[in-house]
Chain A
Amino acid sequence: MDLYPFFDWLDTSLLADISKAYGGVFAVVQMLHLLGISMLGGMVLVGDLRLLNIVMKDIPSEVVIENTHKWFNVALVMIIISGIFMSSAVALKLYYNTMFWAKMTSLTAGVVFVYAVRRPLLKFDHASIKPITLRMIAITSISIWFTVAASGRWIGFS
């Protein structure tokens, strides 16, 4: 599926007019993107480090996962909306950028993993899940979101 038409449309859309013209607006939106990343990172790390038995060992892991998930959702929405806004400013450039596609791939993997696998599974009693599975989920989660963030930053350098 060739996404070029979409990126071409985005590059000349009203959104792009705004994001390209006003550097101050772009900077504020980018700040929201960064704050969203911080919130997402915090929620992911607290949950995963708990699954790995590294932090908050005296709080049941079900409670930790449940509480962090809600704000994970908030953060993800912030990130996606601000991300689309920023992408509109350099849409065609991004289309030809390998790191951008690495980021989109890992982001998609991350979203699928969280909503189709991790959350449904962790709704069950954690004691009934094999410990190795819990650890693999945590390590995979951290690795995916690290890759999204790192490849995202590296777009700026490529």
Chain B
Amino acid sequence: MLNELLLNLAHWFDRQSWSTSIHESIYLYSWIETTHVLTLMVFLGMLCVIDLRMLGAIFPNVPASTIAQRLDKPMMIGFAVMLITGFLLYYAIPVRTTQSLWFRIKVVLLIAAGVNAFLFRAKMQASSETWDLDPIPPKRIRIGAALSLALWAGVVITGRTIAYDWFDCHKQLPYFMYWVVGCVDEMAALQ
């Protein structure tokens, strides 16, 4: 099942010496994590400006598509750094991360945010001639922007709560939670 697959993948990464090196190093993990958090200022910062324009809350006299295009490159550079540092954080501590409720929710929200962004860009390109110059874009665009900000806020909070052990496998959890979190061994022990 998916839980076994994800756990096997995590164990495979865990056995690699570089994974252990990062995890046990004095500074490297902390630096990667710090870069990950600080790069939020770049990635989410740019996204914030773009979404605020889509909500009609900033740069009212600049075409929305112009804002989106001009800030796209710095935003994607930020996103690339987030992905790389994020993967390295997972790679350094793969088993606990895989079996983290918050990490799983974070990945789901990331995918949802990605889908929302893709649909949003398509919608924007299709209709931009009609509302591009309006200080306040039409409702469907504003909903997309608000949804974008909400999903990314969710990504940020779940990312932060990964560090808490409220739902870790070593805790006493109901069987259903073991399944959600992927505690394969604990589920087997209960059967």
> A–B direct touch, CB within 8 Å, in complex?
yes
A residues with a Cβ closer than 8 A to B are 23, 27-28, 30-31, 34-35, 37-46, 49, 55-56, 58-59, 63, 67-68, 70-71, 145-146, 149-150, 153-154, 157
Say yes or no: is B86 at the interface (Cβ < 8 Å to chain A).
no
Q: Could you tell me if A27 and B164 are in contact, using CB atoms closer than 8 angstroms?
A: yes
Which residue of B has the minimal Cβ distance to A45? Answer: B45
Q: Are B160 and A43 in contact (CB under 8 A)?
A: no
Q: How far is the CA of A145 from the CA of B38 in the complex (A)?
A: 11
A40 and B70 form a contact (CB under 8 A): no
**What residues of B have a CB within 8 angstroms of the CB of A150 in the complex?**
34, 38
Q: If the complex has contacts A42-B44, A45-B46, A45-B74, are A63 and B37 also in contact, measured as CB distance less than 8 A? A: no
Whether A149 touches B41, Cβ cut-off 8 Å, given contacts A35-B153, A49-B74, is: yes
Q: Is A59 a contact partner of B66 (Cβ separation < 8 A)? A: yes
Interface range, B side = 20 to 34
Chain A residues positioned under 8 Å from B62 (CB to CB): 59, 63
Question: B61 an interface residue at 8 Å Cβ cutoff?
Answer: yes
Indicate if the CB atoms of B40 and A41 lie closer than 8 Å: yes
Say yes or no: is B156 at the interface (Cβ < 8 Å to chain A).
yes
Q: Quick one: given A56-B70, A71-B52, A153-B37, are A23 and B164 in contact (CB under 8 Å)?
A: yes
- Chain A residues near B41 (CB-CB < 8 A): 37-38, 40-42, 44-45, 145, 149
CB-based contact A37/B40 at 8 Å? yes
Task: Report yes or no: B44 in contact with A38, Cβ–Cβ below 8 A.
Answer: yes
Query: What residue of chain A has the Cβ atom nearest to residue B53's Cβ?
Result: A67
What residues of chain B lie closer than 8 Å to A34, measured between beta carbons?
Answer: 37, 40, 156, 160
User: How many angstroms between the C-alpha atoms of A40 and B43 in the bound complex?
Assistant: 12
A-B contact count (CB 8 A): 96
Q: Is B172 an interface residue (CB 8 A)?
A: no
Cβ-neighbour of A41 out of B34, B45, B58, B153 (below 8 A): B45
When the two chains form their complex, are residues A67 and B70 in contact, meaning their CB atoms are under 8 A apart? no
Residue contact B45 to A42, C-beta cutoff 8 Å: yes
Is B118 at the interface (CB under 8 A from chain A)?
no
Q: Which secondary structure dominates chain B's binding surface?
A: helix
Main secondary structure of the interface of A (DSSP, over half): helix
* Interface bits B26-70 vs A (CB < 8 Å: 1, else 0): 000010011001101111111111001000011101100010001
Considering the complex, which residues of chain B in the window 131-186 have a beta carbon less than 8 Å from any beta carbon of chain A?
Answer: 153, 156-157, 160-161, 164, 166
In the complex, residue of chain B having the shortest beta-carbon distance to the beta carbon of A23: B164
Check B71 for interface membership: any CB of A closer than 8 A. Answer: yes
Give min CB distance, B28 to chain A, whole Å: 12
B153 near A43 with CB under 8 A, answer no
Closest to B57 in A: A71
Q: B45 touching A149 by the CB < 8 A rule?
A: no
Q: Which residues of A are found within 8 Å of B59, using beta-carbon distances? A: 59, 63, 67
A29 to chain B, nearest CB (A): 10
Q: Give the Cβ gap from B77 to chain A, nearest Cβ, in Å.
A: 11
Q: Are B48 and A39 in contact (CB under 8 A)?
A: yes
Identify 29 residue pairs between A and B in the complex whose beta-carbon atoms are under 8 Å apart, listed by A's number. Answer: A27-B164, A31-B156, A31-B157, A34-B160, A38-B43, A39-B44, A41-B40, A41-B41, A41-B44, A42-B42, A42-B44, A44-B41, A45-B41, A45-B46, A46-B45, A56-B70, A56-B71, A59-B62, A63-B61, A63-B62, A67-B58, A71-B48, A71-B58, A149-B38, A149-B41, A153-B33, A153-B37, A153-B38, A157-B30
